[in-house]
Structure 1
Amino acid sequence: MLNFLIATNNFSDDFLKENKGNNMEFMKCREDTTTVDDSTVYKAIDTIKSYINYREDIGFKINPDTINIYWNGLESLQKNLKVNSNVRDLPSNKDALTFGYYVNTFFYDRAILQELKTYYMPILLWWKISNVILIRPTEITAKMERDCLIEDGDRFYLKVNRIKHSNVVKNAVKRTYLLILDKLEITRNIYDLIDNYKNLTNGYGNSQTLFSYKATFELRKYLINLDENKYSFLGDKKMVNNEFSKNLKSNPEYFTIITLDSMLRSFYKHIIKGYYKDNSIECCVNLHDTRHFAFTSLMLQGLTPVEIAIIGGHRRVFSQDSYQSKVSYYVDSEIVNFISARRLGVDFSNKSIKEIIFSKPVECFKPLEQCRKADDDIGYCTVDIKSNGMLCENEEFCFKCSKWWCSPTEDNYDLMRKYIKEKCISPLMKKLAVEEGCLNEIINQMNPVDLDGVLRSNVDEDREFKTLTMDIRRDTHNLLDLKKVLLDLVPPKEVKKIEE
């Protein structure tokens, strides 16, 4: 860092003129780069960029155009370095969905005392909010104010205090940044959950943050006094009182990320493993993981990286190291939601392959010699455009067309399940994996443009990104439909078993 400042004479214009924009010359402030591995150079550049951010926040008395050149040069060099991603491996879809299942189960479990539910309610709110909104754990714990809800007619919003809002020195020169949004639209369901939590915890004293530390403390104390053996996992009376005394020295009106993290680990250990006796989770979700799920959700809605970064409160477009696309998690979570809704009696137009096959007549309504074999090589296409103008209803998957017929037998049912898994779902999942890889490459190479002091999307890059995300959305939709088709949640009213 010091070598860099000396070599560039504190980000001088003269250094840039002498090197004529050669990015590699930026690193002459260090030892010879040929003797240093890419990972070390990458970390050194990160240190310099962090210093630039710090100087900007306290007031950088240097021409912003000059700083932009330095910043872009450092980023360009960084992109050409071969380093391993620092993004940790996310929990498997199964582990993440299992956690989500128990979050929902716990708060709808009538056998659970309401005070215990209220104690763990910050976990529910964090999970619901951060799965759909790009928000940092600190922003939802220490930065989100108690009065964070906005109702405007039939629309609902959440006020967010972004941690990257800096107290800038007056008249300090600033570089160009992305716009920062501090009001985000939410669903009525999330609005009601937050409002309910506030109503349940208002009686425990004033809180500057949405999550009430005073309520957390009082609820723990109440439960321990109620049954110290049953709720021993919350601590003992002496420990709780000592803990609150320590927090009184700071400010108990503020919730912290440390408290939420401790609560999350407690939920895993004492609720999922202890109460529900489930030890199947191999990798636990941490507070930072949900940003990847939210990123995928926003991407599948058609938002560009710049738009997603703005929603996430970032001042710059993030690199692919910052976020991982998790389309497979999105698909699996939608399947779980679909299963839950079906079990609750919600009616869908989706028919399972079992319903489709066993609803077919035993005999085809037209001679098979007048039909053609369907692409699945199991059923037949009865479309006859010349004689009656019947058109194919689904060119991708024959079995989803009403003009498709097969003999309603158990053998055909088994063959169709195998066909859908091996010939439809498997190739589609491989295609999506390739598309996600291409998407990450596009994100990593994106360079927003400066328009009137604000960073905006590059039109050509936006077009390329949106074209690919449209393909991903279409393939994701098809994958969801195919997985739903294999589910046999509601048996058909009449299942005909044909004896051969």
Structure 2
Amino acid sequence: MLFCPKMYNGITTQTVRQNIGQIKEAIRITRGFRLDHLKHLEDTLNHFGDHKQFAMATSIKEFLIFYNHPHTELYCDLCANYNAKVSNVRELPNFHDILLFDVALDDYFITCTSDEEKLQYYPIFLWWRITRIIPMRPVEFYSLSRDCTMKDDEDRYWMIVPRRKNLSSRPGKLAVTDTIQVNREVFELIEDYKRLTLAYATESSYLISYKAYRKYVKLKSKEITREKIGASQFINMIDRFYDEIVTAKYGDLERIKPGDTRHFAFCNMMLQGFNMLTIARMGGHSQLETQLHYHKHLDHFAQSFVHHAAQMLRMKRVNLWRSNWDVATQGIIAKSRIYQISDFQETHKVEHGFCTDHPSRCQVGDCRFCEFYFFSPEDKQKGLAWLKDCSDALESRLKEQLELIRYVTKSTNYDCATLTYQHTSQERLSSASNELRRLMDQKAMVDSYLLEDEL
């Protein structure tokens, strides 16, 4: 009866046969879903590609929920780590809400007065700091070894990521790297977390301590012994942080999911000029083409960055950011705090405003891109039109630059067997990325003046 609804819902008989085959394979691997064979299933799934992981994990979950197996909860929790269908483009949360989460998390750890406070949400802090830099799957983060970092003789820091090994010898398949260089901050954060969880070190070989997590959670049912936290526990931790910390300060925000940071990391690397081969190896992709769907996020990511940077520049000018900023009342406060031209010691008349530095020291050229420019037009409409024309022109150039980055990225010749690429193309990609960042900075500055007019 399990597969009858699938037939009626238009699922083909071939798909049903595949589902049954996957369930049979899981039963064989786990000896009938025995508890002591849970790790065997995880190891098997980690050897598969993303698409097969998703398909098999979905089939297993559906079967176990239907069958009501005594170990359904543990096996479904494992399968939840593979519930992201790679072919679909992930809908990322609102960029502004992402940034407020970042601010709330930083504020929480800055104001922590005890190790107990810090430990409660430390796994979230580690996840946020690490997986936005290294494109890591949630299951890889949960599976980090307690000894995942090391320092070499040259004072470089490294992290070992538990990536699935690529056993295929098919042409075009990449050898996945599991050792990635990290900065000192990441290394020291992990060392600090290990210090706080030292009492639990003998009970598990994993970095993220399930026992430490359990200190702050009340279970409705009998506790199940686990070696590490899984998707359900980590999502629960994120939800508690939103409920107890974020919502009280900023209201209801669109919530970030564990897999979102992997997308942030890919987009950041693309905007910084990393080539497809480097990104694929750092992200654990065995095929270059897998990362192409992340390109669809680039426009939104760049636009969101510009809008946020423009807001921050405006708030900096009115001296509000951090000290007095209140999201709900920022407009009212800002109107009473905007500078007057008399507030500056040195002013020089320029187009539609004043230079608050000496023009002889100018290194920008166009006043609209300069932090020392004070927008104060004699004719407001002409001044705003002057800014708007520049903003629109920069918008067009940004889109062209993003298209150039996509084109250079895709047209570069990569040799997957030797892990090499054209250095001339990498130079072109780096140059295009630098120009993109320059345009983003310029547009943010221009838009910050336009935002002031909206107050």
Tell me the CA shift for residue 140 of structure 1.
0.8
Partner of 2:344: 359
CA distance in 1, matches of 2:369, 2:412: 45
Tell me the CA shift for residue 311 of structure 1.
1.6
Partner of 1:253: 227
CA distance in 1, matches of 2:450, 2:339: 8
Give secondary structure in 1 for the equivalent of 2:292: coil
Change (3 A) 1:2 1:114: same
CA distance in 2, matches of 1:414, 1:269: 45
Whether the 8 Å contact between 1:447 and 1:458 is mirrored in structure 2 is: yes
Partner of 1:301: 272
Partner of 1:316: 287
CA distance in 2, matches of 1:151, 1:487: 46
Question: Which of 288, 291, 301 is equivalent to 2:259?
Answer: 288
CA distance in 2, matches of 1:48, 1:277: 41
Partner of 1:477: 441
CA distance in 2, matches of 1:193, 1:358: 43
Whether the 8 Å contact between 1:157 and 1:184 is mirrored in structure 2 is: yes
Whether the 8 Å contact between 1:178 and 1:454 is mirrored in structure 2 is: no
Question: Which of 199, 218, 228 is equivalent to 1:203?
Answer: 199
Question: Which of 179, 183, 189 is equivalent to 2:179?
Answer: 183
CA distance in 1, matches of 2:282, 2:208: 22
Partner of 2:363: 393
Question: Which whole-Å deviations, capped at 9, do the CAs of 1:176-211 have from their partners, x for residues lacking one?
Answer: 433433222222222222111111111134322110
Amino acid at match of 2:273: G
Change (3 A) 1:208 1:48: closer
User: What's the C-alpha RMSD, in Å, of the aligned pairs?
Assistant: 4.6
Specify every segment of 5 or more residues in structure 2 that has no aligned partner in the other structure, as ranges: 1-11, 15-47, 56-86, 324-337
Whether the 8 Å contact between 1:134 and 1:294 is mirrored in structure 2 is: yes
CA distance in 2, matches of 1:401, 1:266: 40
Whether the 8 Å contact between 2:180 and 2:282 is mirrored in structure 1 is: yes
1:63-102 equivalences in 2 (<5 Å)? 86-102=88-104
Give secondary structure in 2 for the equivalent of 1:157: strand
CA distance in 1, matches of 2:133, 2:307: 15
Identity %: 24
Amino acid at match of 1:454: T
Give secondary structure in 1 for the equivalent of 2:111: coil
Partner of 1:450: 415
Normalising by structure 2, report the TM-score.
0.62
Whether the 8 Å contact between 1:293 and 1:330 is mirrored in structure 2 is: no
CA distance in 1, matches of 2:184, 2:213: 25
1:368-387 equivalences in 2 (<5 Å)? 376-378=351-353
Whether the 8 Å contact between 1:297 and 1:330 is mirrored in structure 2 is: no
Question: Which of 106, 111, 120 is equivalent to 2:108?
Answer: 106
Partner of 1:139: 140
Change (3 A) 1:396 1:431: same
Amino acid at match of 2:388: E
Tell me the CA shift for residue 472 of structure 1.
0.9
Partner of 1:214: 211
CA distance in 1, matches of 2:379, 2:182: 43
Number of residue pairs matched by the alignment: 353
1:120-135 equivalences in 2 (<5 Å)? 120-135=121-136
Tell me the CA shift for residue 287 of structure 1.
1.3
Tell me the CA shift for residue 101 of structure 1.
1.3
Whether the 8 Å contact between 1:331 and 1:476 is mirrored in structure 2 is: yes
Give secondary structure in 2 for the equivalent of 1:185: strand
CA distance in 2, matches of 1:392, 1:181: 47
Amino acid at match of 1:271: I
Question: Which whole-Å deviations, capped at 9, do the CAs of 1:206-232 have from their partners, x for residues lacking one?
Answer: 322110111111x22xxxxxxxxxxxx
Tell me the CA shift for residue 87 of structure 1.
0.8
Whether the 8 Å contact between 2:311 and 2:448 is mirrored in structure 1 is: no
Tell me the CA shift for residue 263 of structure 1.
1.4
Amino acid at match of 1:214: K
1:430-441 equivalences in 2 (<5 Å)? 430-440=396-406
Specify every segment of 5 or more residues in structure 1 that has no aligned partner in the other structure, as ranges: 4-46, 55-84, 221-233, 346-352, 365-372, 385-389, 489-500
Tell me the CA shift for residue 132 of structure 1.
1.6
Question: Which whole-Å deviations, capped at 9, do the CAs of 1:395-419 have from their partners, x for residues lacking one?
Answer: 23377499x9x9x9x6669889947
Amino acid at match of 1:182: D
CA distance in 1, matches of 2:117, 2:181: 29
CA distance in 2, matches of 1:154, 1:284: 38
CA distance in 2, matches of 1:215, 1:455: 41
Change (3 A) 1:2 1:439: farther
Give secondary structure in 2 for the equivalent of 1:129: helix
Q: Tell me if 1:279 matches 2:251.
A: yes
Question: Which whole-Å deviations, capped at 9, do the CAs of 1:336-380 have from their partners, x for residues lacking one?
Answer: 8987999789xxxxxxx9599853657x6xxxxxxxx95x44459
Change (3 A) 1:260 1:48: closer
CA distance in 1, matches of 2:386, 2:252: 29
Change (3 A) 1:457 1:316: farther
Highest CA radius of gyration, 1 or 2?
1
Tell me the CA shift for residue 422 of structure 1.
2.6
Tell me the CA shift for residue 309 of structure 1.
1.4
CA distance in 1, matches of 2:108, 2:361: 49
Q: Tell me if 1:327 matches 2:299.
A: no
Give secondary structure in 2 for the equivalent of 1:108: helix
Q: Tell me if 1:115 matches 2:87.
A: no
Whether the 8 Å contact between 2:277 and 2:414 is mirrored in structure 1 is: no
CA distance in 1, matches of 2:291, 2:439: 25
Tell me the CA shift for residue 116 of structure 1.
4.1
Change (3 A) 1:50 1:471: same
Give secondary structure in 2 for the equivalent of 1:184: strand
CA distance in 1, matches of 2:320, 2:156: 28
Give secondary structure in 2 for the equivalent of 1:454: coil
Q: Tell me if 1:193 matches 2:189.
A: yes
